[in-house]
Amino acid sequence: MKIRCSALMLRATLAASAALICLFFVPSSTAIAQRLPETVRPHHYSLTLTPDLKAATFSGVESIDLTLADPADHITLNAAEIAFQSVTINNNEHLQTATISLDQEKEQATFTFREPLTAGKATLAIHYTGILNNELRGFYLSKTAKRNYAVTQFESTDARRAYPSFDEPAFKATYDVSLVIDSGDTGISNGPIISDVPGPGEGKHTLTFLTTPKMSTYLVAFLVGDFQCTSGESDGVAIRACSTPDKVALTPYAVDVAKYVLHYYDTYFGIPYPLKKLDLIALPDFEAGAMENFGAITYRETDMLIDPKTASIGAKKEVALVVAHEMAHQWFGDLVTMKWWDNIWLNEGFATWMENKPVAAMHPEWNIDQAVASDEEGTLNLDAQPTTRAIRAKADTREEIEQMFDGISYGKASDVLLAVENYLGPETFRKGVHAYLSAHLYSNATAEDFWNAQTATSHKPVDKIMESLVAQPGEPLLTFGEPANGSVSVSQKRFFLSPSIQPDPAQKWTIPVCIKTGTDKQDCHVLTPADSSLTTPGVALFFANAGGKGYYRSAYPPSVYAALVANAETDLSPAERISLVGDEWAQVRANKATAGDFLNLVSALKADSSAEVMDDALVGVNSTYQRIAATPEEHAALSAWIRQTFAPEYAKLGDPSAGDSPNTTELRARLFSILGNYGKDPAVLAQAHEIADKYLANPSSVDPTLGQTALAIAARNGDAALFDKLQQVYETSTNPEFQEGALRLLAQFEDPALVQRSLDYAASNKVRNQDALIQYAIGLRVDANRDQTWKYVKSHWETVRTLLTPELGGYLVGSAGSFCSAEARDDVNAFFTAHKVPSADRTLRHSIESINGCIELRALQEPNLQRWIAEQPKP
């Protein structure tokens, strides 16, 4: 499953804040997920489902072939929101009818039999009914203005809402699926259609799908509607990208990406994609970014459907990466699945790490390695919060399971894999991946299975490295001395962004440390808790994180740091410069460097030619403006410095041209954004309105990346006429990129009357449930709108509460962490304590920590900022 900030939040102007929302989001639920006994194991399910899309109900006929390890008089499995009509069992040719008892809290059904069942094979036969809910989970309704669709989302524990099942990942089985649907509709499931016959009944037809391989319950999918598809083929596999009929013209891009990615993965893994077909389906209502159902991947429309002629570079990257992420799951997660949810990182971390490889190969001009380094900076900041967790953590209840889908399972796990791959070398690591997958095909695995395979393949201490990084929360700070005589001193301790937290001196890591020895060259060592020095090659410039791929923060003596800054543009790669910028901002947060030190580093990099380096530098500038500066005078001084520093660099890039590289296009947009939003540059503000008007009139008339950035700037300074235009785009466009972009911008207008309109609009029936809470989250992230949005949320809580879905409430609570005062902190804490959001207890703790962190940062760094401002030359 993919939860992406850019898919769920705004794409450009609030990037730093949006990242915080996704990183802090840890959905939960109050229901208990009780483990099932292992004495009954399913082998095969036969499912026939008949959905009634108008009545929002469905009926099911199911048989489950299973094996009992011991004699028993009852069988317990999972079921939720299911009404049983009959349950029988055939055990050794003896047929019995079950007595059914339900435990709603545990989401279990127990079938009790009058005569004991013998050990061995048996077949359950179940007739039942269920509801097509509006909660974006289980078997649910997705709606357009014209009709309803019946679709599924089962991860992590919602297959039980569609069919009674042994709903745990280790209970793998094969599936035969049939759908009885309206004659004008089609159906999609994990396998291809092998039969389409009329009936039963007038106006119906029955689709039967090819038997699936062994797979976990949460990977089953069935979808019903008038889907239309674009087709392709790769390595003998039929590939389709499907959508509602009005958007099918936007599907070819995803097919092209999928064709390339499938061949790449077949080659990389050395294990061919195991199914006969692969469908990608965009759904109008979908809570996450995408879901890796085996052979039938589902997507939020914005993560799959684009027009490459009018799409921004960011949107193209987003769709390519999400497609690649979900396709990686076909091997990591579907073919080989974690035994239990405590190792969900074996799914999500691997897919996050792997998604970058085919996209980088397909589009080298996108500089994906730099984006990976940038993403790692966000993960390191997350892992340095007061409250974090180990990659592998306890996950027994539904609440604990859902909390595992966070920035640790995705980001940190991916970064740890990257660090180990960098240490071993790509080919050695690939061989270890192949050995791991080959040993567990159509089965389940643990973390130990993976790192033992890598250790056996590489003959290096991967097991010790990965256990150290997977089992411990947090990250190390490596403090280096002056290199001398072929050695450098190094100490390690856990790093926290808050200087008030003292780390446990006993906590240390076994990690690979790679020292840069030249362009694309490195010398790697394993640093253990007992080590106090490393051998170092004779290099003129000492940089201890070659490629920016190590999972640690670095601190250097003043002379070494000064040399790095002086030579960063000539001797460090863009990914290494991103690491240098991230380490310095982390030092500011930890009060080991000043805000002025960081801004001086940004000045030294102001002419950097990499859009990703600039973006990371500007995230710190934005944070300085928002979370350190506190007075109009300080904001004005920072705005003047931004104009003085970046206006000449923006001017050097000139107007967009057809020959611009993607990097140049994105760099121009980054500089344009900082000058408009925080520099308050009059010329840029005027230009933004001009470009925005052209973009709205004809999106193909201007560079889409700059056009979307200009529109975001214009919206923050916009009037009712612009608001009306964007609202019309949202309501009438059939392009999801335009639709979502317009909707998100409505929450960024700063005129109080338009803020009120935006808040009311989010609660209207014009906005889908999957989007409504995000509008309030954005309002809480915009400085000028925060107080008004918070007052609205509190005073309209009964309305806002109805918009909560089982997972999206966390976005709202997480965004409340944008405040920066003790009074607001206490208000947020008191309100959400009294008005509990079911999916957000832990998120509330993170929000309070975020507010406390801002209070502390401002108290420590505002005086430093004031001194730095006073030292700046007057314009």
Q: What angle do CA 482, 488, 489 make, to 5 degrees?
A: 90
Give the three-state DSSP class for 384.
Answer: coil
Tokens of 39: 């004495």
Alpha-carbon gap, residue 184 to 279, rounded angstroms: 20
Contacts of 566 (CB under 8 A, 6+ apart): 604
Tokens of 36: 């099932």
Alpha-carbon gap, residue 614 to 605, rounded angstroms: 8
On whether the CB atoms of residues 297 and 327 are closer than 8 A, the answer is yes
Contacts of 672 (CB under 8 A, 6+ apart): 650, 684, 687, 688, 706, 709, 710, 713
Taking the mean position of all CA atoms in its chain, how far away is CA 769? Answer: 19
Which residues pair with residue 100 across a beta bridge? 111
Active site residues: 326
What is the pairing mode between strands 174-182 and 204-209? antiparallel
Least Cα distance to 91 among 107, 67, 57 occurs for 67
Alpha-carbon gap, residue 279 to 150, rounded angstroms: 16
DSSP state of 552: S
Which residues pair with residue 68 across a beta bridge? 40, 120
Give the three-state DSSP class for 206.
Answer: strand
Least Cα distance to 201 among 179, 182, 188, 226 occurs for 182
Alpha-carbon gap, residue 638 to 643, rounded angstroms: 9
DSSP state of 498: S
- DSSP labels for 693-729? HHHHH-GGGS-HHHHHHHHHHHHHT--HHHHHHHHHH
Give the three-state DSSP class for 525.
Answer: strand
Alpha-carbon gap, residue 411 to 423, rounded angstroms: 18
Give the three-state DSSP class for 65.
Answer: strand
Q: Phi/psi zone of residue 565: left (φ > 0), alpha (ψ -120 to 50 degrees), beta?
A: alpha
Which residues pair with residue 511 across a beta bridge? 527
Q: What angle do CA 51, 57, 60 make, to 5 degrees?
A: 55
Least Cα distance to 388 among 407, 375, 373 occurs for 407
Alpha-carbon gap, residue 85 to 82, rounded angstroms: 10
Residue 471: C-alpha distances to residues 413, 448, 503, 506, 793 (Å): 11, 11, 17, 15, 39
The amino acid occupying position 406 is D
The amino acid occupying position 521 is K
Alpha-carbon gap, residue 340 to 749, rounded angstroms: 45
Question: Using N-to-C axis directions, what is the helix angle for 752-762 and 786-795, rounded to 10°?
Answer: 40
Contacts of 312 (CB under 8 A, 6+ apart): 11, 704, 705, 707, 708, 737
Alpha-carbon gap, residue 395 to 397, rounded angstroms: 6
Least Cα distance to 318 among 2, 615, 636, 633 occurs for 2
Beta strands in 359-504 (DSSP E): 443-445, 476-480, 487-494
Give the three-state DSSP class for 745.
Answer: helix
Tokens 């051998």 belong to residue? 535
